[in-house]
Every structure is written in structure tokens, then in C-alpha cells.
Amino acid sequence: MIHQQYTLFLVALQFYTRIPVPAWVPYHPEDLSKATRFLPLVGWLVGIVTAGVWLVLEPLTNGHVALLLAMSASVLLTGAFHEDGFADACDGFGGGWTRDKILLIMKDSRIGTYGSIGLLLLLALKFASLQLLSEKMGGDSVLIVFNLLAAHSLSRLMAALLIFTLPYARETDDSKSKPVATAAGFSTISIALLLALLPLLGLCYFSGTLWGMAVLSGLGLVTYGMGRYYKKWIGGYTGDCLGAVQQVTEVVFYLFISIVWKFI
């Protein structure tokens, strides 16, 4: 049982990051859906690396340079997996006016005007919101670490929730994201929920307040709204839609916590 769960975690690590996994790890399409339960745990890893780079380099350089390098580290770690999905979603929904046209544009590996502008604005907003978050928390390293852990794990949970609430939009698809679309059952989403909530509980503990729990409502509303939009235009979601949800809710988390922190 433990070996099976460990294998599923390695499958998630293999699919969602650029981190090498042992050669013995098997790949079965049906395992990818079950491995979704460990998507928030992958977020833990990305959050730890991002926070580590930021906090180690800040005394050696300055806050802006350290933060840019930390963001670069997270992109390298994931291979810009979710950023690519966000850009494709911007191109698809920005340039397409019918379901078929939107899906066709998102299938194109080239990035267009909407994707370029959207990604540029997203990264700029992420940088600014993280800088604001650090200032609001007085540069407290423990709180910064737990904010990044919570943001990366919860944003990935929101993407996982979309899988369980919407149908897959492409009827015939050879995309590498297709196996993820098969719902794996209640146990998978329960484990994902638990793993995503732990860093948030840690943030509440070290900040001495439960205000941080309110972020769940904000992320839920954003995910619900994006899901409704996807359902209206393409009848469900694609892998690019999941990447867009992850990126948007991650930034929303930083902004939400920064705003809430003013009242603590």
C-alpha cells in the first residue's frame, strides 16, 4: 500500500515537474488520474524550492533580484507547465469565438498575442503581489515559506477540483493531459484536500490568526467562475484550462492574503 502511494507520488512528480524519477517507475495512463491526489504535495515541493531560493539569495543580492530568481527557479522546476497552459488558454479564449476554434487554437503549440500579453501581465502581477506580501509580513521568513507552500498547494487543489466538477472538453484527444481527466474517486480528492490544507493550517498557526482560512472562499469563487466560463464556451475543461486555474488562483492567494493582513 505504501509502495503504491509512493509510486503514484513519483508519477505525479514525473508528469508535473522536471525532477528526474527512478527508471523503475512505471507509466500507466490510468495511474496519472490517481496521482492527482499528490498534486498539492508537488506544490509543497515547488513552494519550498521557491522560498529557499528567495530567502537564501535576498541577503546576497536584494529583494527584487532574489524574488525574480526564485520565480525563475519555480518555472525551471515545473518546466513552465502551468504557465504554458495559461498562455494557451489566453490565446484560445481571446482569439476564438466558437468551441471548435477555441479548442483548435489551444492545441497550437505556438504562443500568440493574447498568450504573450496575458503571461507577461500574470508574471508581473505575481512578482508585485509577492513583493507586497513580503512587505506586509515584515520579511518574516517562516510566514513567507508557509505562504508559498499554501499558495502552490491550494492552487493545484483548485485545478484538481475542476477535474471532478467538469467534463473533459475534447471528445477525441491524444493529448498527454487526457489521462488526468478520468475521475479517480472520492479518496483521491480527499487526500488532495488534506495535503493542500496542511500548509494553510501551518500559516494560521504561525501567524496566530485564522483569517487565512478565508482565502479558501476566494479561491473557490475564482475557480467556480473560471469553471462556469469554460463550461459555457467549450463545454468543459482541457489541460490548458487547468494550468490557467492554477496560475490565476496562485496569484489570487497572494493578493488575498496581502489584503487580509491589513486587518490583522
Sole residue written with cell 501581465: 121
**pLDDT tens digits along 15-24:** 999 999 888 8
Residue 28 pLDDT > 80: no
Residue 101 pLDDT > 90: yes
184 HSE (CA, 13 A, CB side): 22
Angle made by CA atoms 175, 188, 2, in degrees to the nearest 5 = 105
Taking the chain, what is the end-to-end CA distance rounded to the nearest angstrom? 43
Of 130 and 32, which is predicted with more confidence? 130
Give SS3 for 237. strand
pLDDT of residue 187: 84
**pLDDT tens digits along 233-254:** 999 999 999 999 999 999 999 9
CA distance 58 to 141: 11
Provide the 8-state DSSP code for 98: S
Residue 200 pLDDT > 80: yes
Cα dist from 224 to 86, 97, 221, whole Å: 17, 22, 5
CA distance 32 to 41: 15
Query: pTM of the prediction?
Result: 0.94
CA distance 207 to 155: 20
Provide the 8-state DSSP code for 168: B
